[in-house]
Structure 1
């Protein structure tokens, strides 16, 4: 009864929770209004991408986690807290980095940091300690994990081929393509298991908090759950191909449609929970937090309300304002790039075995041509140039580059490339194999093949208002009998010379 009577007095009073919650609501409203595009993008990704569909359940789960802690929180007197403004400043800085590099995942994470920082700035350290897990768990709302798809495609393909060999089925692996006597199969992005791994991580962390106290048990449970998810997806891919080997490809497709999906994931999850159940060491009625111990945390660095709110609003406003200014300073107009004259090579119009064109959405200019020499080598040269970059028009980003995820071409594996370039092998149905070498350049910087370097240089240019002109140069050749793609690309590069001259002609630095 003493606990029940303590709650009303702790939650009541204009100097306590009501006033602080009004301040928090005001800051959250300001954040969501100023960064509404990022919030809307996150929700749109949750709604449209099967990889992140589970994120739709996370806001109510976080609300439930907070509700679990209501009795303990009711014993705490919330206060403004200056270090919470540092938390918000960190979110503002990360948002600027994400905006400068056109990295949606960083901007989305920064939005979560801003919302968390507002909680810390208005409610104080004791409340933050009580809400530590719900605040941390909010990061799982950030759509991240699809970047693992290429590696998971390769892993799934290798597991499937290993099991096929175990069952005496002849199978040949070429990147993510598996060939058996019945036909060939591609481990597509949707079959990589990334969406199950991402969802299992979010679910496993929640179970670790709700059902376990021991950190050792938590680590073993989470590691076992993720391993089971990866192995189960490889077994599913094997099962589909094995059905095709025993029957027909049509029957295998039907089998895959029945087995694959959230039902499959639910069965894996149920199996993991059944194994872990006997080892749970937190009872359902256990207290989530110790409110009395948290209430004893001393109040320090408590700024006046007007100062705290003014500083918080300044931190919220600063990033989008600076982003507008720096974009204006660094943007420029570009003339269409001219295709080069290459000694010993001439332009040809011979058809490709499978139509190919790199994807660079938002580019100011794109040109492409096919060249041949007198030795039977044939290459395709593509150039894309940008006068400035932002989300939706960027040199490096999801879907940009040699393999359009909405087209017929798929990334299969890394490939040879000269120093300062990126090499990759891509494939189209047939299969038709193609080798692509890519050079990037931002502003007046060095030519590089590193996407991370491109992002870093773009961030620097945007943050400091420098030259944001950028160019991509792709040199590609089809793989054919007696006409290896590497040989054609090497011969063309030798005749072309330093690609820096071509990059400067396409996007001259200021």
Structure 2
């Protein structure tokens, strides 16, 4: 009985040699990454599916698979090895995820997942295979939904291009932020009209073309720069054409024109123009090898595949474990939050010209009120406090702050603000123009208007167990004839005194 069992016992250890064994180990580690960080994986896929700006990301995994398939003849000539130094890249990804989770920045967490998968590939297949797959591994970064930050500046650029062309066409127009007024109507260069989704998709498409169609870096850089520049200019021309059609006909006709021109058809036309212009300069021929297997093979010191896989699993588990261990219990907030009394100002029951309320999802306390002084200046003060920030209840982030995307208020341009605050001009139908000055603070630090600074301070508080209480203080005023918003805000801030003291009282520090 024991003699018959002996061959089975000897055959039991897994053989991790060769492509099959290394791919098996890589599959285990990759599945562990996807399982441990499933919430982030699901969030990333949800963005691909629901946000039109990132719809192209759905095709990136298929393109990566296609690029790997194109390289299979050369890959079969390489010998995979387990390479312990590759764990450094995986560790960098795990650390980046830890920072992103602590700061509440989804883009960093999503990018960290890609880095961890890249690190697992390098560690379990070796440097030769990694160099052979260098571009597909790099291209995986385009699975990360990024680029929303360029929307406001692109809105301004699009509006300025449209204004320049309107001036050249002799159409009388006035621009205020992202709003353009003509005798025909009042036009907004909205987020959807900024051209951001086309620029982001063109970056992914152009990068792929650079690898497939060009061999020299000079031509690659020139092609990508030209493609991106053309995308921005073409979107400005589209906005100009829409306003021009409205000026020559009716607004309804312009809306119909925009619906026909805008969309992926517009992007397809730009791609055709770009490819047609670049075609004569392609210097990679069909069938050219992607790499030289003989030049890549050898030179790497092999490590035990099982040991490398085990170390990889330990590294990816360490990041969420560290965050769970170091997460500090939040300090309590006062049971109630009240608006302050400000010398020279009284609470005013006046109605707003257009209803405005800043958005702070999940805030533990939120109050807002209107003040008036003897000079007739009127401001609105809003305060939101958090005992601690978590996913979905953050001080700064998408949809948070002065302009709620679910309301009629839209961001139109930067506005004047003190050095430690953020100034914004927002606009509602009417048009009603409002200036907002926002102060943010995490823990007992100094107020700031910088959203990146808020994220950094939140990250430090969560990683190091510091005070996580956070507050947003927004002072706002409507722009009116003879009553400039900036002057009203400045007068109120002067009489309010140190914003730091108000923040201390609101979160219960003093």
Bin of the TM-score, shorter chain as denominator length: over 0.9
Q: Deviations over 1:347-401 (max 9, x none)?
A: 1111100100001111111110001111101100000001111221111111111
Deviation (angstroms), 1:406: 1.9
Match of 2:137 in 1: 135
Provide TM-score, normalisation by structure 2: 0.95
2:187 to 182, 185, 188: 185
1:328 Cα offset (Å) = 4.2
User: How many angstroms apart in 1 are the aligned matches of 2:345 and 2:36?
Assistant: 54
What's the counterpart of residue 42 of structure 1?
44
Q: Are the aligned partners of 2:386 and 2:470 in contact in 1 as well (CA < 8 Å)?
A: yes
With over 3 angstroms needed to count, the CA separation of the structure-2 counterparts of 1:331 and 1:22, relative to structure 1, is farther
Query: What CA distance in whole angstroms lies between the structure 1 residues aligned with 2:357 and 2:269?
Result: 41
Structure 1 vs Structure 2 CA RMSD: 1.2
Q: How far apart are the structure 2 equivalents of 1:331 and 1:308?
A: 41
Given candidates 254, 278, 281, the residue that maps to 1:279 is 281
Q: 1:217 and 1:437 mapped to 2: Cα distance?
A: 46
- Alpha-carbon shift at residue 332 of structure 1 (Å): 4.2
In the alignment, which residue of structure 2 is the partner of 1:451?
451
Shift of 1:466: 1.2
Q: Which moved more, 1:131-140 or 1:409-418?
A: 409-418
Distance in 1, Cα, partners of 2:303 & 2:468: 41
Q: Does 1:220 align with 2:216?
A: no
Counterpart of 2:300?
299
- Correspondence list, 1:16-415, <5 A: 16-295=18-297, 297-300=298-301, 302-330=302-330, 332-415=332-415
- In 1, Cα distance between equivalents of 2:502 and 2:89: 45
> TM-score, normalised to structure 1's length?
0.95
| SS state at 2:444 partner | coil
TM-fit CA distance, 1:333: 4.7
Give ranges in structure 2 of 5+ residues lacking alignment. 1-14
CA drift of 1:344 comes to 1.2
Distance 1:14 1:352 in 2: 70
Structure 1: gaps spanning 5 or more residues: 1-12
SS at match of 2:204: helix
Measured in 2, the distance between the counterparts of 1:251 and 1:132 equals 49
Q: Distance in 2 between matches of 1:179 and 1:331?
A: 50
**Partners of 2:213 and 2:159 in 1: CA distance:** 34
Moved over 6 A (4+): none
Measure the CA separation in 2 of the matches of 1:83 and 1:509: 47
Q: 2-side partners of 1:506 and 1:327: how far apart?
A: 23
Provide the rounded CA distance (Å) in 2 between the counterparts of 1:486 and 1:14.
69
Cα-to-partner distance string for 1:393-434 (whole Å, 9 max, x where unaligned): 111111111011221111111111123111111111111100
- Superposed CA deviations along residues 192-244 of structure 1, whole A, max 9, x for unmatched, are 00000000000000000000001111111001100110010000000100000
